[in-house]
Amino acid sequence: MTKTYKLKVLAGDGIGPEIIKETYKIIDWINATSDIIIETSEGLIGGCSIDKHNSPLTDETLDECKSSDAILMGAVGGPKWDNVAYDIRPEAGLLKLRKSLDLYANLRPAKVLDALIESSALKPEIVKGLDILIVRELTSGLYFGTPRAIEDLDNGEQKGIDTCTYTTSEIQRVARVAFETARKRSNKVTSCDKANVLATSKLWRQTVTELHKNEYSDVELDHMYVDNCAMQLVRNPRQFDVIVTDNLFGDILSDESAMLTGSLGMLPSASMGGEDMPYLYEPIHGSAPDIAGKNIANPLATILSMALALRYSFDSKALAQKIEEAVSAVLADNLRTSDIMSEGCKEITTSEMGSAIVAKLNG
């Protein structure tokens, strides 16, 4: 029986529209060949929305997102909007979307494909076969805590203030996602914190330990300080399966893990929230204004984000796997966009890459 899903597509700025265009080729292939139908509708987010509505995400677009089954986003931002008011900057649209949908868990897989092993900043023997997943808390911690201000002091100096807070339930729900996901992978979670210094981290460690004891004792758990984790990720990254950590540490560690795989242009992400809210899928890279409009951006992170949507929102694991295999097969044919180009390979454009994936899917 055919099942229909509603996908809200927010292409955004810079290379966003180019990489989303290629992902549409995959969606068209799914609609033509599989037993699911993906109904798409488009909306504005980021700079393009500021230009039209003076808001990086209108309430109307937000409501349309809420009534869809999943959201696929390109990227937001660029120098054109560097000087807009802080509260309507392009990124504020993305933060509003995450907060409104309560997308508290950000999943970022970092996988080293054999064909791209030479693109990694590390030696092949260290990263060969690497397959890790970072689960980052996304709606609390230092990025959302108040008070937040720059205050004028009597002595003429200024003082910057940020606040980091976490509650037990905020930690429990993201840790639960990590344990559940680990059960479907290699059954190991590393919880990363700074419990030797920070109160929020002390609560984090205590809460994760308790949850593990009560509900997930079948999963292997260890705790690691964030500075050690940053070091271990470059020393011996294959020791990890799932890493769960807070908003700030996750932001940094997930970019570090991205470099283990070689290119920002290859890495998808999924953000998950409450049961009745749609999940958000997006590449981890930004809007790459330096290459926008040149048809050279790598669309694979967005295409792989679509594969995650199939896996987590559209109950279509087999289709997700097919797309992931098509990506590996195209790379094994030595076809590359410029960001992952290496000797002996053929450089192709953004649109040629999208078409090459579809050709593999049809093949």
Active site residues: 143, 194, 227, 251, 255
CB closer to ligand NAD, 70 vs 175: 70
For ligand NAD, give the closer residue by CB, 187 or 338: 338
Pick the closer one to ligand NAD by CB: 119 or 298.
Answer: 298
- Owner of token pair 């993906």: 38
Residues 18-77 binding ligand NAD (CB under 6 A) are 75-77
223 CA to centre of own chain: 23
Select the residue interacting with ligand NAD from 43, 56, 265, 268 (CB under 6 A): 265
Q: Which of 349, 297, 350, 358 is nearest to 327 (CA)?
A: 358
Determine the angle formed by the axes of helices 168-183 and 199-215, rounding to 10 degrees: 50
Q: Does 92 bind ligand NAD (CB under 6 A)?
A: no
User: What are the residue ranges of helices labelled H in 184-246?
Assistant: 199-215, 226-235
Any contact of residue 304 with ligand NAD (CB under 6 A)? no
Total residues in contact with ligand NAD, by rule CB under 6 A: 21
- Alpha carbon distance 100, 61 (integer Å): 12
237 is an interface residue for ligand NAD by CB under 6 A: no
Does position 287 interact with ligand NAD (CB under 6 A)? The reply is yes
CB of 298 to ligand NAD, least distance (A): 4
Name the segment binding ligand NAD (CB under 6 A); options: 57-65, 112-120, 234-242, 297-305: 297-305
CA angle, residues 313, 314, 318, in degrees to nearest 5: 115
Please give the backbone phi and psi of residue 190, each rounded to the nearest 5 degrees, phi first.
Answer: -110, 120
Tell me whether residue 262 or residue 278 sits nearer to ligand NAD (CB atom): 262
3-state secondary structure of 297: coil
Q: Is 84 in the site for ligand NAD (CB under 6 A)?
A: no
Give whichever of 7 and 301 is closer to ligand NAD, judged by the CB atom: 301
Torsion of CA 106, 190, 325, 343, to 10 degrees: 100
Q: Closer CB to ligand NAD, residue 324 or residue 339?
A: 339
36-43 and 3-12 beta bridge pairing? parallel
Q: Residues 189-208: x/- map of binding to ligand NAD (CB under 6 A)?
A: --------------------
d(CA 133, CA 29): 28
Three-point CA angle 164, 165, 171, nearest 5°: 125
What track of x and - describes contact with ligand NAD for positions 335 through 354 (by CB under 6 A)?
----x---------------
Residue selected from 71, 208, 267, 297 as contacting ligand NAD according to rule CB under 6 A: 297
Q: Report the candidate in 179, 174, 173, 166 with the shortest Cα–Cα distance to residue 212.
A: 179
The reply on whether position 254 binds ligand NAD by CB under 6 A is: no
Of the candidates 22, 23, 29, 78, which one interacts with ligand NAD according to CB under 6 A? 78
Phi, psi of 155 (to 5 degrees): -85, 10
Q: Residue 330, class by beta-carbon neighbours within 10 Å (0-12 exposed, 13-18 middle, 19+ buried)?
A: buried
Query: Beta partners for 151?
Result: 159
Closest distance of CB 187 from ligand NAD, Å? 30
- Closest approach, Cβ 74 to ligand NAD, in A, equals 8
Q: Which residues bind ligand NAD (CB under 6 A)?
A: 15, 75-78, 91, 94, 264-265, 282, 285-291, 297-298, 301, 339
